[in-house]
Structure 1
Amino acid sequence: MTLDAFSGLASRASRFFAMGMVALVLAGCSGMNLFGPPKVKAEPIVPAAALYQKALDDMDRQYFQTAITTLEKLDRQHPRDPLTEKSKLMQVFANYRMGKFDESILAADRYVALYPGGKDVPYVLYLKGNSYYAQIKDITRDQQLSRDAIDTYTLIINNYPSSEYAADAKEKLLVAYDNLAGKEMSVGRYYLGNGQHTAAINRFRTVVEQWQTSTHIEEALYRLTEAYLLLGLTNEAKTAAAVLGHNYPSSSWYQQAFALLGKQGLAPEMNSGSWMAAHRT
C-alpha cells in the first residue's frame, strides 16, 4: 500500500470515529429535549358539573382538602361557568370546616370581591366572622381578632338584618365586646397597681363609654371610684359610685364602692357635670 493510500484510509477512519462519537452523544441525550424544556402534559378537561359533584361527594365524606383541590380545578378549567360561584362559596366553607381559618377568610374576601351582589354574601360574611371568632384568644393577648370579628358581624347586622345569620352574629358580637372590655380592664388594673392612676382611669372609662353591654361594666365603675379617690377627685369618685348604685344596686361592686367612700366620710352622689352622668340609665 502506498503512503497516499494509507493516509486516505486513516482520514476516513478518523471521520467514522468522529461520527460514531456524535451518535453516542446523541443517544445519551435521547431522553432530553435539546430545543427547550419538555412539554407539560395537558390537563384533561372534566365537565364542570362532574367536578362540582365530586367535590360535594368528598365533602359528604369530610374529605375537605380533596374537595378543595377539585373545586380549584373547576375554577381553573371553567372560569366562566355558573358553577364557579358555588365553587368559591364551598371553598370558604371547606376551609372553615377544616379549621383553616385564615384560608377561609381569604376565600371569603375573594368571593365577596367577585360576587358583591351574590345571594350567599351574608353566609360568606358569617363564615368569615366565625373564622375570626374561633381564633379569639384570652384577654391577655392582642385583641385584633376580636375587632375583626366585630367589624364583620356588624356588617351582617347592618346590611343584612333580616338574614338568618344576623341573630347569631349579635350574640357573638357580645362575646367579642366582652373580650375587648376584658383587655381594657386587665391593662387598667395593671396601671392602677403601679400608681399610674390617670392611665388606669382612661382604660376604665373606655369600658364605660364603649362596652356598656360587657360583663366588666360594674367593676369598671368601681375601679373608677377607687382611682378617682386616689387622685383626690372626690366628686368624680362619688359620681362613679352613684352611677354604679343606680344601674346595679344589688352588685357586690357597688357595696365595695359604697364602703370605700364611707371610709373617707363620703357617700355616692351624682354630679350632673361629670362625663359619667350620661351613663345613668
Structure 2
Amino acid sequence: MKKILIASCVVLALTGCANKGTSVDKDAQITQSWSVQQLYTSAQDELNGKNYERAVKLYDILQSRYPNGRYAQQAQLDKAYAYYRDAEPDKAMAVLDNFEKKYPKHENLDYVFYLRGLIAFNEDTSFVNKLASQDWADRDQKANREAYGYFNTLVTRWPDSKYAADASERMSKLVVAFAGNEMAIARYYLKRGAYVAAVNRAQNVVQHYQNTPFTEEALAIMSTSYAKLGQTQLSQDTQRVLQTNFPESKYAEGWKADDIPWWRYWK
C-alpha cells in the first residue's frame, strides 16, 4: 500500500509540473508572433487593468525575446512598478537595483529613485492612517529613513525631475514622522520617570525638527523633566521659551513645574 501511495504522489507531482509547464508554454505560444510593440502594449494594458502577475509575465517574455532596445529597458521599469503595486517590494527593489547596474546613466534613473522611495514610504500600509492621527510610535523608522534617502537623492541629483515635487512633499511628511517618533519616545520616558532620557529626546525635536507640530510639546516635556530633576533654572528658562514662542500654549496654562501632569493632554 505504501508503494502505491508513493507512486500516486509522484504521478500527481509530475502532473502538477506538466500543468505548470503547459501554462507557461501557453503564454509563449499565444504571443509567439507578437511584435515587441504588441507585447509591450499588451503588458501595459494588463498593468493598467491591475492584472499585475499577467503583466510581469508579458514583460518577461518581451525581455527574453527582445533583450535590447528601449522597450526592454522600459519593460524593466514597468515590471518593477507592477511588483510594487502587487505588494512585492523585495522583487521590485531587485529589479530596480539590476536596472541601475545595467544602465547607471539612464535618462530615467530619477524614476528609479522615486519608485524606491515609494516602496520604502509605503512599506507600512497603515502609514496614511497613522499620519492622520499622528500616531508615530509603531512606524518603521528604518523604512522612513530609507525612503527619505531615496527622495533626497532624487531632488538633489535631478531637481527638475517631474517627480521632484512629490518627492519633496513626501520628505516633509517624513520629517514630521521623525519628530513624531522622537516625541512618542520622550512621552514614554517622561511617564516612567526617566527624566534625563525624556529631556534628550525632546531636545532633539527642538534642535532638529523645529518646523514640525511637536516643538511646543517638546519644550513642555523639557521644562517638566528639568523641574523633576531639580534643575529649577533650566526648567524656568525653558518655560519662558515656551511661553514666548507659544503664548497661547495649553501647556503654559497654570504651569507649576513641580507637579503639573503634562501627560493629561496626551491621548
TM-score range, shorter chain: 0.7 to 0.9
**C-alpha distance in structure 2 between counterparts of 1:49 and 1:224, whole Å:** 63
- State how 1:40-119 maps to structure 2 within 5 Å: 47-119=35-107
Q: For 2:137, which of 127, 137, 140 is the aligned residue?
A: 140
**C-alpha distance in structure 1 between counterparts of 2:215 and 2:202, whole Å:** 9
Corresponding residue number in structure 2 for 1:242: 240
* Higher CA-based Rg: 1
Shift of 1:77: 2.9
Shift of 1:62: 2.7
User: How many correspondences in the alignment?
Assistant: 223
Shift of 1:262: 9.4
Corresponding residue number in structure 1 for 2:118: 130
Counterpart contact for 1:174–1:213, Cα < 8 Å: no
Counterpart contact for 1:92–1:124, Cα < 8 Å: no
Counterpart contact for 2:63–2:72, Cα < 8 Å: yes
**C-alpha distance in structure 2 between counterparts of 1:202 and 1:83, whole Å:** 53
**C-alpha distance in structure 1 between counterparts of 2:53 and 2:180, whole Å:** 37
Q: Name the amino acid aligned to 2:256.
A: L
**C-alpha distance in structure 1 between counterparts of 2:168 and 2:87, whole Å:** 22
**C-alpha distance in structure 2 between counterparts of 1:56 and 1:92, whole Å:** 13
**C-alpha distance in structure 2 between counterparts of 1:252 and 1:125, whole Å:** 42
Shift in alpha-carbon separation, 1:185–1:88, aligned structure 2, 3 A:
same
**C-alpha distance in structure 1 between counterparts of 2:115 and 2:231, whole Å:** 48
Q: Name the amino acid aligned to 1:249.
A: P
Q: Secondary structure at the match of 1:260?
A: coil
Q: Secondary structure at the match of 2:161?
A: coil
TM-score, length of structure 1 as denominator length: 0.70
Where in structure 2 are there 5+ consecutive unaligned residues? 1-20, 131-135, 261-267
Q: Name the amino acid aligned to 1:172.
A: R
- Residues 23-61 of structure 1 deviation map (CA, whole Å, 9 limit, x = unaligned): xxxxxxxxxxxxxxxxx9997766433322221232233
Shift of 1:222: 0.8
Shift in alpha-carbon separation, 1:164–1:220, aligned structure 2, 3 A:
same
- Residues 238-260 of structure 1 deviation map (CA, whole Å, 9 limit, x = unaligned): 2322332333333323x24x723
- State how 1:237-276 maps to structure 2 within 5 Å: 237-253=235-251, 255-256=252-253, 259-261=255-257
Corresponding residue number in structure 1 for 2:108: 120
**C-alpha distance in structure 1 between counterparts of 2:57 and 2:163, whole Å:** 28
Q: Secondary structure at the match of 1:169?
A: helix
Shift of 1:160: 1.6
Q: Secondary structure at the match of 2:186?
A: helix
Where in structure 1 are there 5+ consecutive unaligned residues? 1-39, 265-281
Q: For 2:191, which of 187, 190, 193 is the aligned residue?
A: 193
- State how 1:27-46 maps to structure 2 within 5 Å: none
Q: Name the amino acid aligned to 1:178.
A: V
Counterpart contact for 2:224–2:258, Cα < 8 Å: no
- Residues 70-100 of structure 1 deviation map (CA, whole Å, 9 limit, x = unaligned): 1122223332233211111111222233333
Larger relative helix fraction: 2
**C-alpha distance in structure 2 between counterparts of 1:193 and 1:116, whole Å:** 50
Q: Secondary structure at the match of 1:259?
A: coil
Q: Name the amino acid aligned to 1:221.
A: L
**C-alpha distance in structure 2 between counterparts of 1:221 and 1:146, whole Å:** 25
Counterpart contact for 1:207–1:217, Cα < 8 Å: yes
Q: Secondary structure at the match of 2:256?
A: helix
Q: Name the amino acid aligned to 1:120.
A: N
Corresponding residue number in structure 2 for 1:231: 229
